[in-house]
Amino acid sequence: MKDYATIRTELAEKKEELAVLKAKKLSIIGQGQGWRLRNGEDSREVNNVSLAELNKEIAQLEREIAQLEGLLRGGNPSGIRVSARVL
């Protein structure tokens, strides 16, 4: 299991990546531009035609962020907060 420092670092990196993707998406929509995304050694062009894939990447990052935040809140990797009350 990852320690909290590792989770926090990974969470910060994913949030930064998400912000970059969202900014690029807005730029593509607003100006019809294309972008070259770089993920390690891989790179590819993103344009209006591939917005659907960009949306999938954003959704995946959002799920991963929710999972990491769930771990930081108490070990729940689903990102869903669960509470119970005694009746």
Residues 28-73 pLDDT 10s: 776 655 556 666 666 666 655 577 788 888 999 999 999 999 888 8
* CATH (one of 3.30.1490.100, 2.60.40.420, 3.30.1580.10, 3.40.50.300) for 4-74: 3.30.1580.10
Quote the CA–CA distance of 40 and 1 in Å, as a whole number.
Answer: 25
CB 47 within 8 A of CB 60: no
Partners of 46 in the beta sheet? Answer: 35
pLDDT in tens, 1-40: 678 899 999 999 999 999 999 988 887 776 655 556 666 6
Can you say how many angstroms the Cα of residue 77 is from the centroid of all Cα atoms in its chain? 15
The domain segmentation of the chain, as residue ranges, is: 4-74
Q: Which two tokens stand for residue 76?
A: 């729940």
Query: Which residues on adjacent β-strands are paired with residue 42?
Result: 39
Q: What pLDDT score does 11 carry?
A: 94
pTM of the predicted model, to two decimals?
Answer: 0.61
Angle between helices 4-31 and 51-74 (to 10 degrees): 160
